[in-house]
Amino acid sequence: MNDPHFTGKTALVTGSGAGIGRATAKAFAAKGVRVVVSDISLADAEDTVASIRDGGGEAAAMQCDATDGAAVERLVQATLDRFGSLDFAHNNVGVGTGKSIEDLTEADYRLISDTSLKSVMLGMKYQLPVMRAQGGGAIVNTASMAGISTVQTADIVYAGAKAGVIQMTAHAARTYAPYDIRVNCVAPGLVRTKILSEMFTHEQQMAMADFHLIKRLIEPEEIAAAAIFLCSADAAMITGHCLPVDGGQSAIR
Ligand SMILES: NC(=O)c1ccc[n+]([C@@H]2O[C@H](COP(=O)([O-])OP(=O)(O)OC[C@H]3O[C@@H](n4cnc5c(N)ncnc54)[C@H](O)[C@@H]3O)[C@@H](O)[C@H]2O)c1
């Protein structure tokens, strides 16, 4: 369906070579949005672009390490050069481990916090001025239920970084609301992605999905649907919000 809110606009999705980012990139493209598919792996970004083009959508693959400020600045400029605007952004990169506090190293701290928190700050740092100059836009950041609840098996650095994403989202929303820019985040529960299957056996995943009231893993497309909603005209009065997509986990107190 032709939706003028989306058709012909441009979205930038980081970490969209796989998982949730790929699903969001495809969902934007299905709405007629031109998508910059950005990932640290160019080959994975190109796979996402091929799948978007197969479906008749428009997309460009761009390699970028989302933890590198100069690279993120170049990525935002390359998006403008390619498509002429930046209307929506999904800052989605993040990495965690299942390590205990005692096993976490300082190198782990840097990797996890740079990937999960700094990348979101850098994304917004370069996206927001472009949207302000354009007269508006919408940003969605990927947080996690690990940033809200302690029942997740995520490590504490990841939990702290994701809690930081939620607060940075609210802070940016407050600062940029006068410029017609909305900033929200999604907080997924356990999502069926590559990283999950690499870290945990099927049995472990099902035991972890027991945190959800709805006893199954979440599909990446179900997170993408929430991200698209937060960017849509239907969400015009929603900003600074953290939307859990968690099978009801946040109802457990
Ligand atoms: N899978 C889950 O259960 C779950 C739950 C809550 C939150 N999340 C969050 O969702 C987001 C996406 O996770 P996913 O499960 O889709 O992971 P994924 O591993 O399936 O995909 C992540 C993508 O990010 C890319 N990437 C990693 N580091 C990068 C960097 N520095 N710069 C650019 N790209 C980079 C990877 O190459 C990969 O393509 C992350 O922020 C993660 O913390 C995931």
Please state, for a pLDDT cut of 90, what percent of the chain lies above it.
87
CA of 18 to the centre of ligand 1 (A): 7
φ and ψ at residue 137, rounded to 5 degrees: 165, 180
Return the pLDDT at 253: 65
* Tens digits of residue pLDDT in 126-155: 999 999 999 999 999 999 999 999 876 789
From 75, 97, 195, the mutation candidate for ligand 1 (largest count of ligand atoms within 8 A of CB) is: 195
Enter the tokens of residue 158. Answer: 């990841």
Determine which residue's CA is closest to atom 20 belonging to ligand 1. 19
List ligand 1's pocket residues with C-beta within 6 A. 14-15, 17-21, 39-41, 44, 64-67, 92-96, 115-116, 142, 144, 188, 190-191, 193-196
Please state, for a pLDDT cut of 70, what percent of the chain lies above it.
99
Domains of the chain: 10-235 (3.40.50.720)
**b (16+ CB within 10 A) / e for 17-53:** bbbbbbbbbbbbbbbbbbbbbbbbeeebbbbbbebbe
Atom of ligand 1 at shortest distance to CA of 17? 39
- Between CA 146 and CA 149, with CA 148 as vertex, the angle to 5 degrees is 70
The residue-averaged pLDDT of 174-194 equals 96
Determine which residue's CA is closest to atom 24 belonging to ligand 1. 15
**Neighbouring residues of 110: CB distance < 8 A, sequence distance ≥ 6:** none
* Tens digits of residue pLDDT in 31-70: 999 999 999 999 999 999 999 999 999 999 999 999 999 9
Distance CA 12, CA 24 (A): 10
C-alpha Rg value of the chain to the nearest Å: 17
Distance CA 212, CA 216 (A): 7
- pLDDT of 81 > 70? The answer is yes
CA of 121 to the centre of ligand 1 (A): 16
CA of 197 to the centre of ligand 1 (A): 13
SS3 9: coil
CA of 173 to the centre of ligand 1 (A): 23
Distance CA 48, CA 57 (A): 11
From 42, 91, 144, 153, the mutation candidate for ligand 1 (largest count of ligand atoms within 8 A of CB) is: 144
Task: Enumerate the active-site residues.
Answer: 158
Determine which residue's CA is closest to atom 18 belonging to ligand 1. 19
CA of 136 to the centre of ligand 1 (A): 27
Tell me the pLDDT band of 199, cut-offs 50, 70 and 90.
Answer: confident
Alpha carbon 99 to its chain centroid, in Å, reads 23
* Tens digits of residue pLDDT in 91-130: 999 999 989 999 999 999 999 999 999 999 999 999 999 9
